[in-house]
Copies of this chain bind each other. A is one copy, B any other.
Amino acid sequence: MAEMHGGENLLFLTDEQLRQGIEAMFFAYRGFTADPDRILATMAYGRAHHRAIHFIARSPGTTVNNLLAILGVTKQSLNRVLRTLIEDGLVESRVGTTDKRERHLTLTEAGAALERKLSDAQRARMRAAYRAAGPQAVAGFRQVLEAMMEPDLRRRYHAIRESDT
């Protein structure tokens, strides 16, 4: 169990270490979604609604196609979710001005309120974990997560960090 750091020691790449990382990822993801899930369970929405709301809040005016690429589901699947959100007055869909095939999505006041509620819960856990682990651990956490992404999603992740489409 010796602490090791810097160049040459490759013990962190053993199958056992990798398996522990895989299980940590599995258990942590459960914690990651637990709080929003609890809130969503009290209403008629699920995790898919949360994801849509999150990325609409993130990039107001985004198109359905854009959202599709980020979420990685079929448009039919996303459409079902969007339809209920629009019917319930949480999301507004406006026909595009330059291209009338596109729909631009934004949150209504009610949608923004739900988004805040869900985000606050998820951020609270994230903040507690970050604080417990410390800034250096957080930097490592981010590095490994990024290296784990599929290349096209990594590009999307960077794009969404730097500018809104």
Contacts and interface: CB of A to CB of B under 8 A. Distances in A.
Interface of A: 4-6, 9, 12-13, 15, 17-32, 34, 51, 54, 58, 72, 119, 122-123, 125-150, 153-154, 156-157, 160-161
A1 to B, nearest CB: 12
Contact of A22 (B17, B24, B123, B147): B123
Given A25-B32, A125-B148, A150-B31, A138 B140 contact: yes
A135 B4 CA distance: 8
Closest 7 CB pairs of A and B: A140-B140, A137-B140, A129-B147, A28-B145, A141-B144, A133-B143, A132-B147
B149 A31 contact: yes
B18 A130 contact: yes
A44 B80 CA distance: 26
A41 to B, nearest CB: 14
A13 B28 CA distance: 19
B21 A126 contact: yes
Nearest to A136: B5
Contacts of A119: 19
Contact of A5 (B123, B125, B135): B135
A40 to B, nearest CB: 15
